[in-house]
Amino acid sequence: MKTLKTAFNLLSLLTLCFIIINCSGDDDTAGDGTTDSVTLTTSVSQLNFSDTAANETSQDRSFSITGSSLVSQIDLSATGNFEISSDAVNFSSNLSIVPNDVNGSSTIYVKFLPDAIGAFQGVVTIQSADVSTDLQVALSGNGVPVIHNYQTFNRERVAFGGGFSQTSVQSYNLHNDLTNIETIKMYVKLTCPTGGCDEWDVYANVKVTDVASGERYELARFITPYWNDNSQLARGFEFDVTDFKSLLNGNVELRIRTECWNARGYEVSVDFDYIEGTPDYAYYGITRVLNYDNGSAAGVPYGVAHTKDLTRSISVPANAQSTHLRTIISGWGQAASGDADGRTCAEWCFRTHDVLINGANMFQHDLAPLGCASNPVNNQAPGNWMPDRAGWCPGMEVPTRIDNFTSSMAGTTFTFEYDFEDWTNTTTDESFYPISSFVVVKSDTPITRATVID
């Protein structure tokens, strides 16, 4: 009897022990005696998107969420101009994932969809009933303008001799609809041909043909580098040519020219970016005022008597809402100036020129140092590229000078005169100022160009 009682007590003890062990082992999901905890993590805390054109969609970016011991659904939501997906196909602002797809790791794809130009922020929030704290991934990106790019001259060889020419004239089809074009940028890329580039810094420009008059308008001017190209600039020289938008549409004739005097010269590429946005005014008109710009020695002689007329009469249409002058000028020549600093004219001598409107000084153009030594096109050895010239530098864009009238000038006629700073050339050396100048009118109603009379 005592033996039976002892056996019963032992069985009860073993049963209790089994119950205790079984209860304490509920979290031993691995069956190895360890205890698993519920976890949910993300691989990143933020995603930054590259610039994306407004009303277009970015490339996908992604991050992963990793969980363990999850039994509840995982819910994700995206705010702002961002959408999420688990398959990189179907995107929306909300997404749910079953726990088995997250116990391990799951990839979440994100798109950026800017609907305007500017900076955007958003956040992906990740929630589950199994965790007490929501997870978040910060999102950011910039909406940028839509850009239409047009390649024109493509490594066109311009040189002198060897069967080459200093100029090339070709026609191209450019953007047609300018109603939503805010800005037009032009890029000029110089490439050294086999055998190397011209060793001199020379005058060069790009012109567009005005169909109505047959005249060629100087879009931009640049000075080539010594011995080298401008490959240190990702896209070459950059120019804002929006003022010419009435000419830069549809089929357009362009001319490039460099004053290279050897057969090496340059390979020149020119392309245009038409950048969408809200134009300042719906309609533009541009008229040539001065055009002594077909070469360095084709400029206005400086310090001597000459026959080039620098006065004009300009009539502005009655519906003009904005009027400005656009001028490009650079000096050439090595005539001794008599200046105390010994700088020669007109390449080196610093001068200030006046623009007279109705006989009064209204605008000034200061042909002063530009900091040639800091030019990013700095591989011009052994050329003399570092000393400051008068308002330009070797291997750099010649500045475009914009003079804005404080009133619209609508319906007025005024006199224009370009007045060089007084100086008399007492040497036999020649000095020149190649110059181009235009009057630009703008309006939100269709506008005719200003009338310019010599």
Residues 422-439 have pLDDT tens digits of 999 999 999 999 999 999
Quick check: helix, strand or coil at residue 23? Answer: helix
At CA 337, angle to CA 332 and CA 341, rounded to 5? 105
> Which of 150, 152, 396, 165 lies closest to 270 in space, CA to CA?
152
- Average pLDDT of span 357-376: 98
pLDDT digits (tens, 9 = 90+) for 187-211: 999 999 999 999 999 999 999 999 9
What percent of the chain has a predicted confidence (pLDDT) above 70? 92
Structure tokens that stand for 159 in this block: 């040189």
Task: Single out the catalytic residue among 259, 273, 276, 293.
Answer: 259
The answer to whether 417 is a known catalytic residue is no
* HSE (side-chain half, CA atoms, 13 Å) at 93: 8
Q: Does 150 score more than 90 pLDDT?
A: yes
Q: Does 390 score more than 50 pLDDT?
A: yes
Q: Does 380 score more than 50 pLDDT?
A: yes
Alpha helix segments (H runs only) across 42-180: none
- Average pLDDT of span 44-59: 95
Q: Does 29 score more than 60 pLDDT?
A: no
The answer to whether 259 is a known catalytic residue is yes
Beta strands in 174-310, from DSSP E residues, in sequence order:
181-191, 203-209, 216-223, 237-240, 251-258, 266-276, 283-292, 300-301
Mean pLDDT, the chain, rounded, equals 92
Q: Does 444 score more than 50 pLDDT?
A: yes
pLDDT at residue 23, rounded to an integer: 35
What phi and psi values does residue 117 have, to the nearest 5 degrees?
Answer: -90, 130
Q: How many CB atoms lie within 10 A of CB 422?
A: 7
Handedness of CA 179, 181, 183, 185 (dihedral sign): negative
Task: Single out the catalytic residue among 83, 210, 276, 347.
Answer: 347
pLDDT at residue 404, rounded to an integer: 98
H or E element at residue 77: strand 74-78
Structure tokens that stand for 309 in this block: 């007329």
- How would residue 58 be classed by pLDDT, with cut points 50, 70 and 90? very high
pTM: 0.83
pLDDT at residue 202, rounded to an integer: 97
What's the DSSP call for residue 15?
A: H
pLDDT at residue 36, rounded to an integer: 62
Q: What amino acid occupies position 327?
A: T
Query: What distance in Å separates the CA atoms of residue 108 and residue 150, rounded to the nearest whole number?
Result: 37
- How would residue 133 be classed by pLDDT, with cut points 50, 70 and 90? very high
Query: What distance in Å separates the CA atoms of residue 205 and residue 256, rounded to the nearest whole number?
Result: 6
Tokens 């190895």 sit on residue: 32
Q: Does 34 score more than 50 pLDDT?
A: no
Q: Does 282 score more than 70 pLDDT?
A: yes
Query: What distance in Å separates the CA atoms of residue 440 and residue 197, rounded to the nearest whole number?
Result: 36
Q: Does 2 score more than 90 pLDDT?
A: no
The answer to whether 273 is a known catalytic residue is no
Residue 90: partners with Cβ closer than 8 Å, 6 or more residues away: none
pLDDT digits (tens, 9 = 90+) for 339-353: 999 999 999 999 999
* Strand 167-173 with 251-258, pairing: antiparallel
Task: Single out the catalytic residue among 83, 130, 198, 201.
Answer: 201
Query: What distance in Å separates the CA atoms of residue 422 and residue 417, rounded to the nearest whole number?
Result: 14
Structure tokens that stand for 176 in this block: 């047609």
Q: Three-state secondary structure along 49-91?
A: CCCEECCCCCCCEEEEEEEECCCCCEEEEECCCEEEECCCCCC
Q: Does 14 score more than 70 pLDDT?
A: no
Q: Does 15 score more than 80 pLDDT?
A: no
pLDDT at residue 157, rounded to an integer: 97
* Residue pair 363/355 in contact by the 8 Å Cβ criterion: yes
Give the range among 1-10, 151-160, 289-298, 320-329 with minimum mean pLDDT: 1-10
Query: What distance in Å separates the CA atoms of residue 352 and residue 425, rounded to the nearest whole number?
Result: 17
Length in residues, the chain: 454
Query: What distance in Å separates the CA atoms of residue 218 and residue 212, rounded to the nearest whole number?
Result: 16
- Average pLDDT of span 368-386: 97
pLDDT at residue 31, rounded to an integer: 36
